[in-house]
Structures are given as structure tokens and as C-alpha cells.
Structure 1
Amino acid sequence: MGVVIPLEENKNKQASVKPLVDLTRGGMERVNQLILSKAGSDVQMIPEVANHLISSGGKRLRPMLTLAAAGLYGYKGENDVLLATSVEFMHTATLLHDDVVDESAMRRGKSTARMIWGNQASVLVGDFLLGQAFKMMVDSGSMDALDVLATAATVIAEGEVMQLSAAKNMETTEDDYLAVIRAKTAALFAAAAEVGPIIAGKGKGERKALKSYGMNLGLAFQLVDDVLDYGGKVAELGKNTGDDFREGKITLPVILAYRRGTEAERAFWRDAIEKGESSDENLERALGLINKYGSLADTITRARHYGTIASDALAPLPDSAIKSALLEVIDFCIDRVN
């Protein structure tokens, strides 16, 4: 299932994450080694559950942001690797917990850990990874980096609770939803980028620039994910098209279609989302209404807006290969809808 998404004309060159991958390759090799080491435990189930998700793919964009943000300022030590691994463990723990809360069956094209080992194991292994993440933050010796990442962990948890409070509530506003994804998704992007200049010994101006870049990139990233759930392909998503609808998730395309609809159409959304009437037939109708009111195109427009803010945050920085790669990542995240 899917709909036609009206987009701006294609660019001559498709944006790619490859420049960032190439520039951070050496650091990411050390990150991947550290991931395998720190995911180990004498308790057999812990590495089994952790490696199920860790080895299942994903571009590891967040730790690459940490390495690149440190590299922007010529950092040469090993603390970027420690903090990048911490960021990835925080992200992985969040996914393990998310899948339990959302009762998800599929993640990155594979059965979720909760479907194989159960909810309890998923939550507890997520806690183990968070513990390891904080140990690595301490090992970095930077109290400022620890403060930024610890604050992000708190904000992410708040975002999860905010999302739970908004679940299946069709009165959720666009502002409400943006607050959720700012906390739940964008906060970790922001922290991942901000710790780079911190360990490179830079000041508030550099920190604020990278934090703004990460925060707005994260918002754009999540909004495009919302679009892909209604207009993407299973192979790209690593889950089934329409899973957000089936799980009763309130995302921006739904909010816009609901707000713009007739009373009869709003009644449909309340039945589908709030009462859980998420049949394939209702999914088809939901897709039709989302298309009718231009909800996907407008969500993409908002993603581009945040992408522009992310780009502007880096504008004062001197030109460099890393800066160019970070700018291209913005276009890459948004161009996933093409």
C-alpha cells in the first residue's frame, strides 16, 4: 500500500550518507569493536538480546554525528569513540524499550527482541546497555559531556511518557506532537552532536551550533519517518507500511488529516485510532484521507523547514569536508521519501 507523494523536482544528484560514512570510517571501526566488547556479559541472554538488535543493520547515524562533530574541531583522542558508543547504546536501549511499549513485532526487517525473548528480557537488557553507556561517559572524563548525555536520557524518557499520554488521543495538536518528537527523537541527535565540540575543548558558541544542527536534523528525520509509514516501502522501512496506524500512533500526517477533515471524517479517525478499528480497509481509507488533504506533502514541507534550520546552524563554520558531509546528511534524511 502507498500513495503518491507530490514532491519538489528531483535534484540532479541524490544526497547520500556516504561522505559521512567515509570520513568517520576509522572511528566507526573502533566504535563497532567497542560495541561488541561492551555488549558482552557472563549472563548469556544479555549479549544474545543486545546483538540481535545491534547486528540487525541501521546506519548508526547518531554515533557518526559524534565522531564528525569532534572531527570538525580537529579532535585526535579516543573520547569521541567512547561517547559515540555511549550514544549508540542509548539509542539501542531506547529501541528495546520502545518495542515493548508499542508492542511492536518487527524492527529493521526482523522480529523484535520482545517477540523472541519476551518483554522482560528486552527491558532489562535495555537497562544493561544504558548502564554501560553511562560507564563509558564517566570513562571519557568529561563532566560536561556526561551532563549533556544524562540530560538527554532524562528528556527521552519524558518524551516516551508524553507519547504514552497522547496515544490514541485525536485531540493531540501539532504542537503537542512536535514536543513529543523533540524529546523522544531529536534530543539524542542534539546530544550526539553537542558532545563533539565539548571534548574538543570548544566553547558555548560551537556547542550551541552543533546542538541546534542535531536537534533540527532529528526533527526532520522523524517527520520523514512519519511520512514513510504511510507512503514508503516495506524494504525501506524495516516494518510494514501502516504500522503506525495499526498501533494507533498519532503522527503528524494523521493530525493534519484529522484537523482538516469533515465531521464524518474526524469520526472515522476517532474510531480507527482511539477505538483501534485498524483493519486493512480502514487503512486504505486513512491513506485516502491523508492524500486528500495533502498531509504527507505538508509534513515533508515541515521537515524541509527543520532541515534548513539545521543547515543554517552550521553556516558560520569554516568550509571543510566534514561540514559538507554533515550538510549532505540533512538532504539525505529528507530525500528518503523520493
Structure 2
Amino acid sequence: MNTPGTILNPVERLQVALADDMTAVNALIRERMASEHAPRIPEVTAHLVEAGGKRLRPLLTLAAARLCGYEGVDHVKLAATVEFIHTATLLHDDVVDESDRRRGRPTANLLWDNKSSVLVGDYLFARSFQLMVETGSLRALHILSDAAAVIAEGEVLQLASAESLATTEPVYLQVIRGKTAALFAAASEVGPVIAGADDAVAAAMRAYGDALGISFQIADDLLDYGGASAALGKNTGDDFRERKMTMPVIRAIAAADANAAAEERAFWVRVIEKGDQREGDLDTALDLMRRHGTLESTRATAYDYAARARAALEAVPAGRLRDILNDLADFVVARLS
């Protein structure tokens, strides 16, 4: 709980401004994650859903609907839909990545098993589609179902591009648009849609969510090479150990190629493509990134996408919620300061 005089960050301000709506969303999530015949479903789901996540994606849906003047209840169903989709992807991701920590806690696949994580993820996807249909909005169903497909596509693309030095920056951006920005964009767009707002406002909110999601993911990828483990909810250097081709690495490899640095190239081939990682390799990777300025350039790119998100908001109705969303774009990259 915040003490008197505490300055709230933008996520906390959204939580306060939308407290009643979020109470309804959380109640609906608990109701719909229940299962009469398979008690493991609520056990696995509750472990992740109730692990203290910020609920940023459903907050975007609620905020976008309210800033467009929506007074109904379907935004609650759409917000719960968004959280179910997100939780399902996390359950699947942890299996694919063989992760053992999520939000600072052991992952579901570690506590139960991979089969349970995959199948419960599938259950949540099914629940999300039930909720979408209940709103009666074909357009909202189209937006969120498209997002679900793009998310799956992005994960497969990441799987195909991982451990390959041939992965380019455009491919990386396509991956993070799928794994992160697609749901941010859809969560932001369905609010105006359910509120019956002008197409221009819905498009602006989609652009906001897309840019915000890209900025958010680039910042996360950069923090992996210098963030506090507690803040990340995972171990610093996990992406390196998992041989993921993120922006700082891609740019460091490109710099090595541009400078015909054969020794550097050989290092990246060994640790990324061959997976032959030794003690001290993470420090070497960091030294190479600093030498070529790829950490700084990646930081600049994250800030650029945050600026794009703020610019998109100029087309949406003014007010307190728009101000908070504007500050949120700064907040997702403030972690890099």
C-alpha cells in the first residue's frame, strides 16, 4: 500500500484511476479460470495470475475505453480476455524457454510440469475467446483473434531466428511485435472500439499500444544486460545464456562484421550459434557491446519508440487518463536511466 505523500508511477496511477473496473476484472478472471472437472487448471493459473503482475495490458483496455467515454461493462470482459491471452502466452513461453523464474517466483512448469503448463495455457486461450464472443462485438473479436495469431507467429519466428547470427534487426522487430507489441496494440484498440469511438481514435490508440509495446520489449531486452534481477523477475544475462538474438547483440555482431573483426565474429559464433559458453563470456559480450556503443544505441531506440507512443496520443480525447498514458510511455523506458 502506498504511504501518504508517496509519488505514484503511471501504472499505479492507472490502478487508482481504474480501481473499480480492475476489481471487476479480477473477479471475472477468478470466476472464469475455475474448472469443475480439472482442479489443476485453477491451481496453475492462480500461481501466475495472482503472482503480483501489474495487469498493464488490461489496464490499457480499461483506460482506452474510459477515455472515450464508455459507460458499459463489456470493457471488463475485454480486459479479462487480454489478461487471459497474456497469461496463456507466458505459460507456453516458459516451457519453450525452459525458464525457472517468472515474476520472481518459480515457473508453473517447474512446480508442476510442461504438459500442465501447455494444456492450461490452451484452456486460457479458449476462455479468452469465450469472453470475446460475449461482448457481441465482431470487430473486437477480429482485433483480439488477429493478435492471438500474430503472437503465436512471433513466437515461432523467434524460435526459428534464435541462435542464428543471420538474424537481422527487421526480423527482431517483427519478433517483438508478435511476442509483445501485438497484444499491447490490440488491448489499446479494443477500448475505443467497444466505446464506439471514431476510427481515427481507435487507430491512434492502436499506434500507441504498438509503439509502447516495442519500447517496453526493447527496454526489457536491454535490461537483461544490466538490470537488477529483482526488477526483471528473472536472472540478469538469461537472454545471453539462452542465445537469444536481441537488439544489443544483433548490433554488436553487425559492428564486428562492418569492421572485419574476425575474432569478435568468432566469439559470437561460439557463444550464440554453437552454444559453447564459458566462464567470463557474458562479461566479454558486455565489453564488445560497450565498445561498439550498442547498449547506448539500443537505449536510444527504446526512447524513440516511447516518443512515437506519446505522439500517437495527440489524436485521442484529452483528460486525466490520456495524461497518465502519456507518462506511461516515459515510464517504460525510465528503467533504463
With the shorter chain as reference, the TM-score category is: over 0.9
Q: What is the Cα deviation at residue 15 of structure 1? A: 5.5
- Tell me the equivalent position of 1:3: none
- Tell me the equivalent position of 1:303: 302
Instruction: For residue 51 of structure 2, give the secondary structure of its aligned residue in structure 1.
Output: coil
- Tell me the equivalent position of 2:249: 254
Structure 1 residue 312 corresponds to structure 2 residue 306: no
- In structure 2, runs of 5+ residues without a counterpart are 1-6
Structure 1 residue 183 corresponds to structure 2 residue 169: no
- Tell me the equivalent position of 2:24: 30
- Which deviates further from its counterpart, 272-281 or 158-167? 272-281
Alignment partner of 1:84 out of 63, 79, 87: 79
Give TM-score scaled by structure 2 length. Answer: 0.94
1:20/1:329 contact within 8 Å kept: no
Which runs of structure 2 are paired with 1:1-338 in the superposition (5 Å)?
16-42=10-36, 43-261=38-256, 262-338=261-337
| Aligned counterparts of 2:66 and 2:10: Cα–Cα separation in 1 | 19
Q: What is the Cα deviation at residue 315 of structure 1? A: 0.9
| Aligned counterparts of 2:296 and 2:121: Cα–Cα separation in 1 | 35
Residues 238-271 of structure 1 show CA distances to partners (whole Å, capped at 9, x for unaligned) of: 1100000111111001101111122211110111
Q: What is the Cα deviation at residue 115 of structure 1? A: 0.9
Residues 15-70 of structure 1 show CA distances to partners (whole Å, capped at 9, x for unaligned) of: 63222221111111111111111111121111111111111122110000000000
| Aligned counterparts of 1:293 and 1:49: Cα–Cα separation in 2 | 43
What is the letter of the counterpart of residue 316 of structure 1? A
| Aligned counterparts of 2:147 and 2:20: Cα–Cα separation in 1 | 26
| Aligned counterparts of 1:263 and 1:14: Cα–Cα separation in 2 | 49
Using the aligned pairs only, state the percent identity.
51
| Aligned counterparts of 1:334 and 1:24: Cα–Cα separation in 2 | 23
The RMSD of aligned alpha carbons is 1.3
What is the letter of the counterpart of residue 283 of structure 2? E
- Tell me the equivalent position of 2:3: none
What is the letter of the counterpart of residue 226 of structure 2? G
Q: What is the Cα deviation at residue 288 of structure 1? A: 1.4
Q: What is the Cα deviation at residue 277 of structure 1? A: 2.1
- Which deviates further from its counterpart, 216-225 or 288-297? 288-297
- Tell me the equivalent position of 2:4: none
Q: What is the Cα deviation at residue 203 of structure 1? A: 2.6
What is the letter of the counterpart of residue 249 of structure 1? K
2:74/2:135 contact within 8 Å kept: yes
What is the letter of the counterpart of residue 85 of structure 2? M
- In structure 1, runs of 5+ residues without a counterpart are 1-12
Higher RCO (CA 8 Å, separation ≥ 6 residues): 1
1:245/1:278 contact within 8 Å kept: no
Q: What is the Cα deviation at residue 291 of structure 1? A: 1.7
1:158/1:183 contact within 8 Å kept: yes
| Aligned counterparts of 2:177 and 2:46: Cα–Cα separation in 1 | 28
| Aligned counterparts of 2:142 and 2:12: Cα–Cα separation in 1 | 31
